[in-house]
Amino acid sequence: MSASIRSVSRRLCDLSREHFVDPYSRIRWPESVDPDGWYFSPRLLSVHGTAVAGTLGEAGMRRLSLLEALNFFSLNIHGEKQLLQGIAARLHEERFRDASPYLQHFIDEENKHLFWFGEFCRRYGRIYPSRLVTLAAESLPTDVEDFLFFARIMMFEDIVDTYNAQMAADEALVPVAREINRLHHADEVRHRAFGRSLLRHLWREGSARWSRSTRERVSDSLRLYPGVAWREYFNPDVYRDAGLADPHAVMRTAWASEEAVRRRQEMIAPSIRFLVGLGAIREEQG
Ligand SMILES: [Fe+2]
Ligand SMILES: [Fe+2]
């Protein structure tokens, strides 16, 4: 691969070992849900800034905060399961030789996250099914697939981590919700740094060989992805469980609200900027 990936991998392996935690004893799980507790920061709720928020009242918003926490952890479960499959498939491939030691930590840490998210959902509610429909795409050359795979991970983790970082700092949250966000954020800082280094490397190695139409496909696909990932934060099943009438209308309103559009821009801006900087997303689309 390259000396830079080798050294990034080595440095991040050291940090992962330093911050190694036993996931099974790390969190104190309360016996039951605290009906007065906030499980998701009120200002991050999908309906924040919409008329729906006003109709729910304080108790309704607290209840919604639990449901949105369950949805947030569920969408993380779905995303991380795909991520684990993709990383496991590449782990011992020669082209990932230098990254492999860190990929091993990546897998280990994502598995811990899956345990925390799964445990939370199992104890205090349920895992919401993913609403994403994956269409069978025509297969691409391996190096293009590698780049797209890690670019999607970066965008997925950037969005999640914005939530994690803000909720880890929110003293209004019940301790268990805050702690899961804090622990996740601590690992994701390394994953995001690794993702950017690896993407720089994959782009440098591969993109010069790609045809113009392949580059355009990569750019279009990356441009679309954040919207697809972000859509999962607006779940009609959650609104139904919160007792809201016409959950699909709530989803459409919340999705299109000024607040949601603004927040989406803010969440995806760093990864789009990075990909435009690389040249993977065409400037005029950025
Ligand atoms: Fe994770
Ligand atoms: Fe991660």
> Which tens digits make up the pLDDT trace of 152-165?
999 999 999 999 99
CA of 253 to the centre of ligand 2 (A): 30
**Among the ranges given (43-57, 98-112, 127-141, 239-253), the one the predictor scored with the smallest mean pLDDT:** 127-141
The residue-averaged pLDDT of 45-61 equals 92
Range of the domain at 30: 3-285
pLDDT of residue 135: 66
CA of 184 to the centre of ligand 1 (A): 6
- Which residues make beta-bridge pairs with 38? 173
Q: Could you say which ligand is closest to the alpha carbon of residue 192? A: 2
CA of 59 to the centre of ligand 1 (A): 30
Residue 278, C-beta contacts closer than 8 angstroms, at least 6 positions apart: 199, 200, 203
Quote the CA–CA distance of 19 and 227 in Å, as a whole number: 33
CA of 37 to the centre of ligand 2 (A): 27
CA of 76 to the centre of ligand 2 (A): 9
> Which tens digits make up the pLDDT trace of 227-237?
999 999 999 99
CA of 209 to the centre of ligand 1 (A): 32
pLDDT of residue 136: 65
pLDDT of residue 1: 63
CATH of the domain at 274: 1.10.620.20
The residue-averaged pLDDT of 275-281 equals 96
pLDDT higher than threshold 90 for residue 2? no
Residue linked to tokens 């919409």? 50
What size, in residues, is the chain?
286
Residue 255, C-beta contacts closer than 8 angstroms, at least 6 positions apart: 231, 234
CA of 217 to the centre of ligand 1 (A): 27
CA of 153 to the centre of ligand 2 (A): 8
pLDDT of residue 284: 64
pLDDT higher than threshold 50 for residue 286? no
> Which tens digits make up the pLDDT trace of 79-109?
999 999 999 999 999 999 999 999 999 999 9
pLDDT higher than threshold 90 for residue 3? no
CA of 43 to the centre of ligand 1 (A): 22
Task: Give the CB-side neighbour count of residue 198, counting CA atoms within 13 A.
Answer: 27
**Among the ranges given (112-116, 182-186, 261-265), the one the predictor scored with the smallest mean pLDDT:** 261-265
CA of 85 to the centre of ligand 1 (A): 13
What does DSSP assign to residue 173?
B
Ion ligand 2: residues, Cβ under 5 Å: 188, 191
- Residue 127: what are its φ and ψ, rounded to 5°? -90, 120
> Which tens digits make up the pLDDT trace of 165-180?
999 999 999 999 999 9
CA of 211 to the centre of ligand 2 (A): 31
Q: How many domains does the chain have?
A: 1
Q: Are 114 and 77 spatial neighbours (Cβ–Cβ below 8 Å)?
A: yes
Residue linked to tokens 């607040």? 259
The residue-averaged pLDDT of 184-207 equals 96
Q: Could you say which ligand is closest to the alpha carbon of residue 111? A: 1
Nearest to 234 by CA among 44, 38, 42, 18: 44
Ion ligand 1: residues, Cβ under 5 Å: 110, 113
pLDDT of residue 81: 96
